[in-house]
């Protein structure tokens, strides 16, 4: 059996759905909120729920649960590693963060988790995921009203670009790796993904000018990009939790410094045609604009 955590989330839900079609074995979901057909209750904040949730799993797809302070995420992820070992899981596939994100504040809990997994008594595959294309898509969408009115798209991206991947593409890779890990565990053959770390960097990069171009295409009027200073951007994040504001500024800061533009990676080895980020962003903006009309 394969168990997938985080199935009420977008990534975990897509992996769960894909594996139910492709895995060739029983697949159970696990979620902090529980509920739903074939979904077990697994709340990383309540370690006592985890061993039972992982019972019978030979392969575990461990989707990170990163929306919290670092100490909370470390406690959550440490509990998952311990429970997987106690439940006798044979192979854990962890969704981490791509190497280009090494200097992001969110890298710390991911790298800590990778280190705990490396010490554990099961095989491990690390899927180092790119930032989602949905992130710049959200920025572009938020910029629609101002761009429509003034022809300006303002964002704190400096002159840098970020390599992003569609969440669906990252889910598709996780589905393939988990299904193959299952085949190898079940057949007793060589475990082709054991001990591997895959850098799933985005194959296309976008920056402020690219997003302004997308807005211009969708809105049918010229739109110019205006870089916003980080100080001004930080003031606009006052409604967020302090840790969220920190992670958000760290992301803008890394993009502005040009650190999130990646050169190559393993994504094309898994997918015939990774979805171009620009098309995905344009589709999100187009949908947002037409549903607002
Ligand atoms: N690569 C990127 O750009 C990027 C961006 C944002 C986040 N991330 C990371 O990738 C993960 C999945 O992304 P997503 O887009 O699917 O996020 P999402 O839709 O917001 O889902 C959040 C995830 O966190 C899990 N979670 C929260 N609290 C939990 C708890 N106490 N115990 C167990 N699970 C808990 C949820 O799982 P349940 O179903 O169990 O509630 C859910 O899978 C995030 O959690 C985050 O660590 C990556």
pLDDT of residue 21: 94
208 vs 255: CA distance, rounded Å? 10
pLDDT of residue 85: 98
pLDDT of residue 264: 85
Fold of 2-130+167-200: Rossmann fold (3.40.50)
Residue extent(s) of CATH 3.40.50.720 domains in the chain? 2-130+167-200
195 vs 187: CA distance, rounded Å? 18
CATH class of the domain defined by 134-163+202-262+272-288 = alpha beta
User: Ligand 1 centroid to 204 CA: how many Å?
Assistant: 23
43 vs 34: CA distance, rounded Å? 8
What does each of the 293 residues of the chain score in pLDDT, given as a tens digit?
A: 999 999 999 999 999 999 999 988 999 999 998 777 789 999 999 999 999 999 999 999 999 998 899 999 999 999 999 999 999 999 999 999 999 999 999 999 999 999 999 999 999 999 999 999 999 999 999 999 999 999 999 999 999 999 999 999 999 999 999 999 999 999 998 999 999 999 999 999 999 999 999 999 999 999 999 999 999 999 999 899 999 999 999 999 999 999 999 988 999 999 999 999 999 999 999 998 888 77
In sequence order, the β-bridge partners of residue 2 are 27, 59
Atom of ligand 1 nearest to the CA of 167: 15
Residue extent(s) of CATH 3.90.25.10 domains in the chain? 134-163+202-262+272-288
CB of 31 closer than 6 angstroms to any ligand 1 atom: yes
pLDDT of residue 66: 86
Nearest CA to ligand 1 atom 45: 65
């Amino acid at each position: 059996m394969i168990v997938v955590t985080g199935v009420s989330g977008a990534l975990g839900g897509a992996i769960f759905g894909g594996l139910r079609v492709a895995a060739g074995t029983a697949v159970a979901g696990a979620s902090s909120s529980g509920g739903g057909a074939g979904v077990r209750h697994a709340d990383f904040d309540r370690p006592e729920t985890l061993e039972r949730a992982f019972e019978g799993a030979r392969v575990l797809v461990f989707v990170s649960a990163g929306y919290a302070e670092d100490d909370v995420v470390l406690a959550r992820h440490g509990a998952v590693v311990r429970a997987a070992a106690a439940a006798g899981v044979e192979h854990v596939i962890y969704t981490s963060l791509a190497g280009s994100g090494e200097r992001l504040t969110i890298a710390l809990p991911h790298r800590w988790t990778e280190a705990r997994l490396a010490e554990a008594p099961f095989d491990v595959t690390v899927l180092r995921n790119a930032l989602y294309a949905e992130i710049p898509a959200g920025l572009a969408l938020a910029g629609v009203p101002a761009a429509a009115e003034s022809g300006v798209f303002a964002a704190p991206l400096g002159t840098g670009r970020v390599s992003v991947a569609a969440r669906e593409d990252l889910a598709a890779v996780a589905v393939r790796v988990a299904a193959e890990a299952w085949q190898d565990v079940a057949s007793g053959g060589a475990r082709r993904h054991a001990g591997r770390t895959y850098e799933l960097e985005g194959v296309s990069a976008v920056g402020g000018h690219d997003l302004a171009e997308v807005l211009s295409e969708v809105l049918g009027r010229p739109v110019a990009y205006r870089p916003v200073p980080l100080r001004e951007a930080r003031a606009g994040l006052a409604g967020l939790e302090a840790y969220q504001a920190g992670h958000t500024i760290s992301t803008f800061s890394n993009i502005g410094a040009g650190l999130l533009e990646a050169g190559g990676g393993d994504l094309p080895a898994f997918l015939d045609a990774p979805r171009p980020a620009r098309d995905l962003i344009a589709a999100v903006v187009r949908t947002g604009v037409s549903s607002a009309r």
